Chain A
Amino acid sequence: EPEVTQTPSHQVTQMGQEVILRCVPISNHLYFYWYRQILGQKVEFLVSFYNNEISEKSEIFDDQFSVERPDGSNFTLKIRSTKLEDSAMYFCASGALRWLATGELFFGEGSRLTVL
């Protein structure tokens, strides 16, 4: 069964460092999302990406964050200068063209980011 894969599974970084989290969505999917979950809290929307551009972003997704599809398959989330409060689990999700009708959105296993 196809799945969304994320790397790294866990990254520890120093405050102020740049971090890139990578996601390989399911092949042929067109909708991509990043969500984050601070430990013990709810899952929060960060950004959605469709047709090779950002379609919506949340207030959390400030200038320190960026997303790219560098090679047409991977989908990356970059945090330019990490802060302590960026420590969270980051989930990537992808959906096919008709996911809004079928309801099928697939989540990756997540990347845990710890900022010291």
Chain B
Amino acid sequence: ELKVEQNPLFLSMQEGKNYTIYCNYSTTSDRLYWYRQDPGKSLESLFVLLSNGAVKQEGRLMASLDTKARLSTLHITAAVHDLSATYFCAALAGNEKLTFGTGTRLTIIP
């Protein structure tokens, strides 16, 4: 059974700093997703990584995928307060369903 782990679970960082959230998954996965969730809200799709070595960037966020290491990272550059949210990664295995990670609650401190 596919398991997806994220770390850290909680992250408090100052504005302007850089940090990385890690997502490990236990078995071969065809796709890796990153979502953002604001409190009480739905899941906003950030990135879909479709192959080994894939890198995608949007603003201050950059996601990458290493399928051999079964690892994806979400890198935050020069954090701003608006990025405060919970970030989830999710992996897709051959059974056509997404398995979500535990989530990383990110708080950006001015």
Contacts and interface: CB of A to CB of B under 8 A. Distances in A.
B50 A43 contact: no
16 contacts: A35-B100, A42-B88, A42-B102, A43-B43, A43-B90, A43-B103, A45-B97, A45-B98, A45-B100, A55-B96, A56-B96, A91-B43, A104-B48, A105-B33, A105-B98, A107-B45
A25 interface: no
User: Which has the most chain B C-beta neighbours within 10 Å: A42, A108, A110?
Assistant: A42
Contact of B33 (A45, A103, A106): A103
Contacts of A104: 45, 48
Contacts of B100: 35, 42-45
Classify chain B: how many residues form its interface, as a range.
20 to 34
Contact of B42 (A31, A50, A103, A110): A110
Contacts of A75: none
Given A43-B88, A100-B92, A103-B31, A48 B97 contact: yes
Nearest to B48: A103
A86 interface: no
B13 to A, nearest CB: 20
Contacts of B45: 104-107
Interface in A19-51: 31, 33, 35, 41-45, 48, 50
A68 interface: no
A107 B96 contact: no
A58 B44 CA distance: 23
A109 B41 contact: yes
Contacts of B103: 41-43
Contacts of A91: 42-43
